Structure 1
Amino acid sequence: MVAVQEQPSCDFTLIIDGSETVITEGVFKSRDGIAKITSPGNLQVSRFRSIHVRGNNTGSVSFDRCTSICVEGVREISITRCKQAQIEQSGNILINSCKELKVNGAGDLRVTRCKFTHLVSCGNVMINRCKMLTVDWTGSVCVTRCKTAQLSRCGGVRIDRCRSADVFSCSNVSVLRGKVNYVSEMQGEQVVMGVKVNYASELPEQQVAMGEKVNNASELPEQQFEMGVKVVE
């Protein structure tokens, strides 16, 4: 006798104006939006002013042109042209055009064109065109064209075209065209290419300016950075 393993259900709970509706198939319409199951486990949501979607850690949800959304417990999430989004304990996320984004617990994340982004406990993160960004407890982070950013307790960090960024307790940091303040509990190496970087740690303070590393109040031999290469004299 062969045991048959039951597949987890792909029900979604929609919370609209305080009322809960469970949707497994078909279409749900309200006065200002539509939610429909396009295939088993796939939900499409569009044009809601405010909606809360709760899953059971399966399925995928795509949002289009919503004002305010909240999502929790969904395996895959795609958001396009939504003003505010709050995501809790979900899987991989793809964001295209969002005004304000808050994520607490997620898999890999890719964000394009979001003004204010706050990420906590995510996997690998890619951010393109953000006005203000804060990231904490994530995997590797790649930031492109950001005005201000604050990154803490991340894996490898790559920053390109960022006006001002603060990096705390991350591993290796690669900077291309930007200004970065880097603070680490343990002194590590950086890759710096033609940028101004202020470097501080629990060890004697060190600075990198215009490709040259200067040790202040240190008994270690003077070291220099030239064209992204660390040279010990």
Structure 2
Amino acid sequence: MVAVEPKAAAHQFTVVIDGVETAVHEGVLRCSGGGTVAVVGPGVLEVTRLQHVVVRGGGGGDVRFSRCVYAAAEDCGAASFHRCGAVRADGARGVSVRRCRSADVARAGAVAIRRCAGAARVRGAGELRVGRCREADVGGCADAAVARCRAARADWCGALALGRCGSADVTRCGAVRVDRCRDASVSGCGAVAVRRGKVSVVEVHKPMAPPMYQQAEPVLAAPVEIMSK
């Protein structure tokens, strides 16, 4: 068992393992297959080697996942994932993902995603950094940077920086900076700065609608291609 301070009881996590729900605020929970759920400090939960696990709440506490097949954090303070399969985070203050197969993040503060073998999808974040993923799909982020991804899509972001991506499709963002992307399309955005690469810029004739993903695409003019070496 892991000793914790009495005040740590305020950080009570709801843990769902393979469909079975358990309340955890102290100690170590050992599961079949060698997986563990352990409170390692006041408001800090570590989850390792589980097949399917969802952690909720925790009174603003932090949760760390490693080597889980599927892991999800809902309404936690901060969530980190390392060497997991598919991961999901919703409503976390901060999210860190490293060397996982895929990531799905929504309603987060600061988000950092590195080396996803599959897709990294983010909807709603303050500061976002994505690097070395096969595919990045981001939307509704205040300040986003995507680098070294094979394919990138961005919609309704404030400031967006793209670096060394294969293909990129950007719509309805504020300030966009493109550096060394092989093929990028930018439409309905504010300022567009290109350092190197091939970028097609499409301007908007009509004012853009409020930032709602369900609305129709704006009416666009003919594309203008910018070549910069």
TM-score greater than 0.5 by the shorter chain: yes
Change (3 A) 1:8 1:30: closer
Offset at 1:90?
1.5
Q: State the one-letter code of the partner of 1:151.
A: A
Equivalents in 2 of 1:194, 1:72: separation in Å? 40
| TM-align CA RMSD | 1.8
**Structure-2 residue corresponding to 1:198:** 200
Offset at 1:205?
3.6
Could you tell me whether the CA contact under 8 Å between 2:8 and 2:43 is conserved in 1?
A: no
**Structure-2 residue corresponding to 1:40:** 42
Q: State the one-letter code of the partner of 1:180.
A: A
Equivalents in 2 of 1:57, 1:190: separation in Å? 42
Question: Number of aligned pairs?
Answer: 205
Following TM superposition, the consecutive aligned residue runs of length 4 or more in structure 1 with deviations greater than 3 angstroms are 203-206
- Equivalent in 184, 209, 231 of residue 226 of structure 2: 209
2:74 matches 1:51: no
**Structure-1 residue corresponding to 2:184:** 180
Equivalents in 1 of 2:29, 2:108: separation in Å? 27
State the secondary structure of the residue aligned to 1:125.
Answer: strand
Offset at 1:201?
1.9
Offset at 1:81?
0.1
Equivalents in 2 of 1:48, 1:70: separation in Å? 11
In the TM superposition, 1:104-183 aligns within 5 A as 104-114=106-116, 115-178=118-181, 179-183=183-187
Over residues 85-115 of structure 1, what are the superposed CA-to-partner deviations in whole Å (9 max), with x where a residue is unaligned? 1112121011111111111211110010012
Offset at 1:8?
8.8
Could you tell me whether the CA contact under 8 Å between 1:173 and 1:190 is conserved in 2?
A: yes
In the TM superposition, 1:76-115 aligns within 5 A as 76-114=78-116, 115=118
Equivalents in 1 of 2:194, 2:203: separation in Å? 17
Equivalents in 2 of 1:10, 1:159: separation in Å? 39
Could you tell me whether the CA contact under 8 Å between 1:92 and 1:107 is conserved in 2?
A: yes
> Tell me, which stretches of 5 or more residues in structure 2 are unaligned?
1-6, 206-220
Change (3 A) 1:8 1:154: farther
Could you tell me whether the CA contact under 8 Å between 2:126 and 2:143 is conserved in 1?
A: yes
State TM-score, norm by structure 2.
Answer: 0.84
**Structure-2 residue corresponding to 1:74:** 76
> Tell me, which stretches of 5 or more residues in structure 1 are unaligned?
1-5, 212-226, 228-233
Higher strand share: 1
User: Of the two, which has the highest radius of gyration?
Assistant: 1
Change (3 A) 1:194 1:18: closer
Offset at 1:209?
2.8
Q: State the one-letter code of the partner of 1:54.
A: R
Equivalents in 1 of 2:64, 2:202: separation in Å? 43
Over residues 145-169 of structure 1, what are the superposed CA-to-partner deviations in whole Å (9 max), with x where a residue is unaligned? 0111110000111111111101111
Over residues 39-91 of structure 1, what are the superposed CA-to-partner deviations in whole Å (9 max), with x where a residue is unaligned? 11000111111111111450001111111012101011111000111112121
Over residues 192-224 of structure 1, what are the superposed CA-to-partner deviations in whole Å (9 max), with x where a residue is unaligned? 11211100022344523323xxxxxxxxxxxxx
Offset at 1:118?
1.1
Q: State the one-letter code of the partner of 2:21.
A: E
State the secondary structure of the residue aligned to 1:107.
Answer: strand
Q: Percent identity?
A: 29
